[in-house]
Structure 1
Amino acid sequence: MKVHEALLVSGDLKNNALQEVFSKRFRTLLTGDPDGVPPWLGAVAASDEPGLYLPDQAPWVVHADLATLVGGIRALLMQALHPGSLTGVREHSRYKNDPLGRLSGTIRWLTVTTFASTASVGKEADRVNHMHAHVKGKYTTSSGSKVDYTAADPHLLRWVHIAFMESFLRCHQQYSPRPIPGGADAYIRLWSKSVIPLGLDEVPMSESEMRADLERYRPELCVTDETRDVIRWIKNPPLPATSLPAYTFLFKAALASMPRDYQQMIGLGEPSLRLIRPVTVNLLKFIRLAIGPESPIEEAAIERLHRAGLMKDGKLLARSEDAESGS
């Protein structure tokens, strides 16, 4: 082997070693597992059956992208603006005592629902429904009245679904170079399947319906001292010091992607999306470079689709209707 070839090989090995280190730390942060192995990997790999989505469909593409790092923060901010979902988080969530545990629980539901078999999705929905059964109480509405609530209340569950879905969609549109198969309408329509096992079957099925729903919920949103307390925590969570600089910027990116009136409600400034976008895109590219291109979750899901007879040699045997419709 020539000297320059040996140096290139040595450099690749060093890069791979660094990627393994960064990848383990990154996945440990998101999953809570000290080895960086997602505890729900087995649920994704299990069975020889298909799931709700295929690799060429919008939910798979959106949720496999690192723009979800921004979308997740944005979704928390959106949900905090509704006093019902806010009270549920404050009174029944371990977000302050075990923030990474709550984060990993949310990631688990998103990951299993997107990439696992329908049987695993059903089991995950049962887990979430069991937790929701214990989340109940009273909250003060934006008009000052006291009302009863439960986490399974279709009205509140619909708001959480819309806030979640709209956040991941907008952040992908703003910060990811990957087109969405079938566009926004396909993502919204297909992701509606995710909440059926949670007991919610009336949700927006298009971007126009989603926007109309957001307008209907707008009078219910408000900011109180309790809201500000939760938002302060979202802005400054107890993360490892090495993660805080990147998180601080991703928080700004999440805020920049929100509508102006939502930014004004939150009261933390109105960062320019035009200035934030290129930096965020490059930051996400850097994170991907640092952790490497491998995705254990996607790899496990694709192996399962091979066993299910839907893929061969890494390719889908038939493209989905949404993929055929373009982006």
Structure 2
Amino acid sequence: MSAEPSSGADPGLVGPNSVSWQLHADPAMWLAGIAGLYLQSLHPLAAAGVVQNSNFREDPLGRLIRTAKFVSMSTYAPRAEVEAGAARVRAVHRSLRGKDPATGRTFRIDRPDLLLWVHCAEVAMFLSVVRRAGFGLTKAQADRYFDEQRGSAALVGLDPDEVPGSTEQMAAYLHDMRGELRRGDDSEVVYEFLHKPPVRGVLGVGLPIYEPAVAHLAYSLLPSWAIRLHGHRAYSPTTATTMLRTLRSAAFIVPAPIRWRAPHGFVPQAMRRLGRSARPTARSLPLD
């Protein structure tokens, strides 16, 4: 995807000349990640897999942080570290089973169709939300992003050739999936949990702000068809976009080296490995 740095340092899976490298460092990615969880939960088996296998009630922030860590690691870490982390994720997925709430049948969490849905829902929301927040991309750059993310799909065991690699392919996939998506008991559990995670202490004090400014905003950033399927009222598209861009602008007040320490400092580590030219910025987006 990108040229090797002149220093010979390992650029990782996509490298600093990729769309992913620039887009995944944007502060709007945190809201995009939450929106992705709402979208994923519309698949009955994906939602059942989360509810039946996750300890999110005991570790309410764990799922989001683990997802953010994997995305950041797979984008910015050296390839050997990426492959080792991916192997651990695949091993966990292989060990997990779920029970279909409709039929009672047991299913594997690592079924290719489920892995594909989770991947596509995730990266589709990454691109949609960050672009909506004001991160400008041409169509060619958006297509390139989905093509780059075929590599991350391969990390969890998917055949890259079977993964949407352009905006048209992603739109067609999401359209074709609508017949399998629905609101259910498990999607409601995810919706309620994301709105009101059972956090305590200092984090609990912030819930009155978190719910409207983060949780419900992320829900409102879903495609209109997904909001209709969930069945809960959302902010108007104009209100949601305004709130998103306001929060993103506020996040930029925080110096980038501080923002990039989470999760687990993969961006600063990549810059130390590859040099200052690897600093994520929209100005470094690859040309069409």
Q: Do they fold alike, i.e. is TM over 0.5?
A: yes
Aligned counterpart for 2:233 among listed residues 247, 266, 269: 269
Shift of the alpha carbon at 1:158?
A: 0.2
Would you say 1:170 and 2:134 are equivalent positions?
A: no
Give the corresponding residue for 1:32: none
Aligned counterpart for 1:260 among listed residues 212, 224, 237: 224
Give the corresponding residue for 2:15: 54
Cα deviation 1:246-266 (Å, max 9, x = unaligned) = 453222332222222211221
Structure 2 vs 1, CA of residues 177 and 305 (structure 1 numbering), >3 Å: closer, same or farther?
same
Moved more, 88-97 or 221-230: 221-230
Work out the CA distance in 2 between the residues paired with 1:104 and 1:70: 12
Q: Which runs of 5+ in 1 are unaligned?
A: 1-46, 307-313, 317-321
Moved more, 223-232 or 237-246: 237-246
Write out aligned runs for 1:273-288 (5 A): 273-288=237-252
Work out the CA distance in 2 between the residues paired with 1:324 and 1:79: 30
Give the corresponding residue for 2:273: 304
Amino acid at match of 1:126: A
Cα deviation 1:216-263 (Å, max 9, x = unaligned) = 211111112232122111111134135431453222332222222211
Shift of the alpha carbon at 1:181?
A: 9.1
Q: Which runs of 5+ in 2 are unaligned?
A: 1-7, 279-283
Instruction: Tell me the SS of whatever aligns to 1:113.
Output: helix
Aligned counterpart for 2:41 among listed residues 50, 62, 80: 80
Shift of the alpha carbon at 1:324?
A: 4.3
Aligned counterpart for 1:226 among listed residues 186, 209, 232: 186
Structure 2 vs 1, CA of residues 247 and 192 (structure 1 numbering), >3 Å: closer, same or farther?
farther
Shift of the alpha carbon at 1:192?
A: 0.8
Contact 1:57–1:181 under 8 Å retained in 2 = no
Would you say 1:150 and 2:108 are equivalent positions?
A: yes
Structure 2 vs 1, CA of residues 180 and 65 (structure 1 numbering), >3 Å: closer, same or farther?
farther
Contact 1:184–1:206 under 8 Å retained in 2 = yes
Give the corresponding residue for 1:106: 67
Instruction: Tell me the SS of whatever aligns to 1:137.
Output: strand
Shift of the alpha carbon at 1:48?
A: 4.0
Shift of the alpha carbon at 1:152?
A: 1.4
Give the corresponding residue for 1:325: 287
Contact 1:182–1:323 under 8 Å retained in 2 = no
Give the corresponding residue for 1:203: 163
Work out the CA distance in 2 between the residues paired with 1:208 and 1:147: 34
Work out the CA distance in 2 between the residues paired with 1:171 and 1:117: 27
**Length-normalised TM-score, structure 2:** 0.84
Would you say 1:235 and 2:195 are equivalent positions?
A: yes
Give the corresponding residue for 2:52: 91
Work out the CA distance in 2 between the residues paired with 1:82 and 1:59: 26
Instruction: Tell me the SS of whatever aligns to 1:149.
Output: strand
Instruction: Tell me the SS of whatever aligns to 1:85.
Output: helix
Structure 2 vs 1, CA of residues 120 and 99 (structure 1 numbering), >3 Å: closer, same or farther?
same
Amino acid at match of 1:173: R
Cα deviation 1:14-38 (Å, max 9, x = unaligned) = xxxxxxxxxxxxxxxxxxxxxxxxx
Would you say 1:293 and 2:262 are equivalent positions?
A: no
Work out the CA distance in 2 between the residues paired with 1:243 and 1:62: 28
Work out the CA distance in 2 between the residues paired with 1:185 and 1:212: 13
Aligned counterpart for 2:80 among listed residues 114, 119, 132: 119
Contact 1:99–1:238 under 8 Å retained in 2 = yes
Amino acid at match of 1:325: L
Contact 2:220–2:240 under 8 Å retained in 1 = yes
Contact 1:253–1:273 under 8 Å retained in 2 = no
Percent identity over the alignment?
A: 28
Amino acid at match of 2:271: I
Structure 2 vs 1, CA of residues 161 and 123 (structure 1 numbering), >3 Å: closer, same or farther?
same
